[in-house]
Amino acid sequence: MTAAAKVRWLGFLGALCCAADAVLFGAPTWIRQGVSVVSILRGSNGVLILLLWIAGLAALCAAWWQGRRLTLTRSWILVTAALWILPLLVVPPLASRDMYAYACQGALFDAGYNPSVDAIAAQPCPWIESVSVVWRSTPTPYGPLWILLTGFAASFGSQVVALGIFRVYAVLAVAGLALALPPLARRLGVDENRALWLVLCCPLVAVHFIGGAHNDTLAMALLAAGLALVTRGSARFWIAGGALIGAAIAIKTTVGVVLPFAAVLAAGGFSFDRLTHFLRRGGAVVGGAAALLVILSVGSGLGFGWATSLSGAGESRSWTSPPTAVGLAVNAAGKWFGASIDVVPAIRTIAVLVLLIALVVIWWRFRNGDTLYGAGLACLAVIFCAPITQPWYVFWTLVLWAVTTMPIRWLEIVIIASMFLILPNGDGAWKPLQVPFAFLVTGLVCGVAWRSVQWLRTPQLVPR
């Protein structure tokens, strides 16, 4: 058996293990309370469940890692990605309960409510008991296009049909990435097969974007397609590319941080002596995005409440969010000295202010450099400063960095490590160790802050 065949079938075996776990201990319509590694081991088939989960994730991650070193054709990569996805298509939701929230948000919209303003508890969603408690009383953090898509899925009146439609959306998104990445990579002078392997065969795709059907894949497919059009170099493509980027924002609003970089990409850089040139080209991209967002917001009747609905995501508290981890660590340290404090909200507010400054600095540093590397760094800044951080968010940066020439090994390591943070039913694998890990992440925050200062003090050496 060739090295390529070993990689393909190792990943397929991993996908089969994860699919089996979705049946044994995925995210069913009922909610298991107080789930942990210990409670799984004490339950029925507990040892088998954890062995399948660890073996499946390890096999997928190892296959993806080894495949980076091989010379692979586009058709081989596409077939391999399809094989790894196939077992996760027909099993219960895996590693997340978000699909159930999508269904109820769609039912809310179908009933005439505005999910950007009203929580799903505002009307008796027939499937509300399957939704995580966190999302029952908070507005949806997604944009108008995704609300329309969830409304369509829920309009059939069947939760099973809605979940199936979300899986169809995920498959179409992966297909969209397969179509958009090669031309984008070619125009940027990057190996398109490398980009396809890094993105399509990433273990996040099979487990979280097919198994969990998260909408990030659809947002990134639209974003990649928009960037591919932006690189075509004419006004109609700048506007059309901007519209596709606007569609991506209308699904996952956080990817809006890429829009200023797309404007720079269209203009070929930014300088004050070519300001008119930048405004004409970059303005076409931004105008296309803004126009589509207005059309979707007004045409759907949802208005612009989605632009501020992200604040509801802060209800959850986990050490995986750096600002939240810092707050939890300070709270814990306060208890050691008899002080009962809660600084998490204040730390999160400071993180938002830091994020705004960081985004401006990153854009300025990469205005004439590797634009999409800067865009990926901006996405990382969003993830790092967000009040809630999930493993699959790193995919935003992966898609953008896959079409650059910069080494991204450390990001690949982060992705592999992140795969082991979630249990098959969607709960955090390390939830009982929240405080110790909060201190570890606080140390990471200090290290990143130090490196950021050093980075600002050195000339930008990133090649175009």
* pLDDT of 48 above 90: yes
* pLDDT of 88 above 80: yes
Dist CA 266 CA 237 (whole Å):
10
Q: Mean pLDDT, to the nearest integer, of 44-61? A: 96
Token pair 């996760």 in the structure block, residue: 88
Q: What pLDDT is recorded for position 109?
A: 95
Q: What pLDDT is recorded for position 315?
A: 67
Contacts of 460 (CB under 8 A, 6+ apart): 365, 366, 369
Tens of pLDDT along 252-306?
999 999 999 999 999 999 999 999 999 999 999 999 999 999 999 999 999 999 9
* pLDDT of 136 above 80: yes
Q: What pLDDT is recorded for position 308?
A: 82
Dist CA 401 CA 284 (whole Å):
24
Q: What pLDDT is recorded for position 303?
A: 94
* pLDDT of 60 above 90: yes
306 secondary structure, DSSP code: G
Q: What pLDDT is recorded for position 233?
A: 84
Average pLDDT taken over every residue of the chain: 94
Q: What pLDDT is recorded for position 464?
A: 42
Q: Mean pLDDT, to the nearest integer, of 95-107? A: 95
* pLDDT of 314 above 70: no
173 confidence band (pLDDT: 50, 70, 90): very high
Share of the chain above pLDDT 70, in %: 98
Q: Mean pLDDT, to the nearest integer, of 124-153? A: 92
Dist CA 370 CA 222 (whole Å):
21
State CA 116 to chain mean position distance.
20
Nearest to 325 by CA among 449, 420, 151, 443: 443
Q: What pLDDT is recorded for position 148?
A: 98
* pLDDT of 34 above 80: no
Beta bridge partner(s), residue 428: 422
State CA 146 to chain mean position distance.
14
Dist CA 147 CA 115 (whole Å):
7
Q: Would you tell me how many other CB atoms lie within 10 Å of the CB of residue 234?
A: 12
Token pair 């609003």 in the structure block, residue: 253
Share of the chain above pLDDT 90, in %: 86
Q: Mean pLDDT, to the nearest integer, of 111-123? A: 90
Domain boundaries, the chain: 3-316+388-429
* pLDDT of 433 above 80: yes
Dist CA 276 CA 280 (whole Å):
6
Contacts of 61 (CB under 8 A, 6+ apart): 14, 203, 416, 419
Nearest to 203 by CA among 457, 391, 405, 404: 391
Q: What pLDDT is recorded for position 21?
A: 96
* pLDDT of 311 above 70: no
Q: What one-character-per-residue DSSP string does 292-337 give?
A: HHHHHHHHTT-TTGGGGGGGGGGG---TTSHHHHHHHHHHHHHHHT
Q: What pLDDT is recorded for position 463?
A: 42
> For 204, how many CA atoms within 13 A lie in the half-sphere containing its CB?
29
Q: What pLDDT is recorded for position 462?
A: 44
Tens of pLDDT along 212-247?
999 999 999 999 999 999 999 899 999 999 999 999
Tell me the three state secondary structure of residue 222.
helix
Tens of pLDDT along 329-368?
999 999 999 989 999 999 999 999 999 999 999 999 999 9
- Greater model confidence, 219 or 122: 219
Dist CA 261 CA 265 (whole Å):
6
* pLDDT of 151 above 60: yes
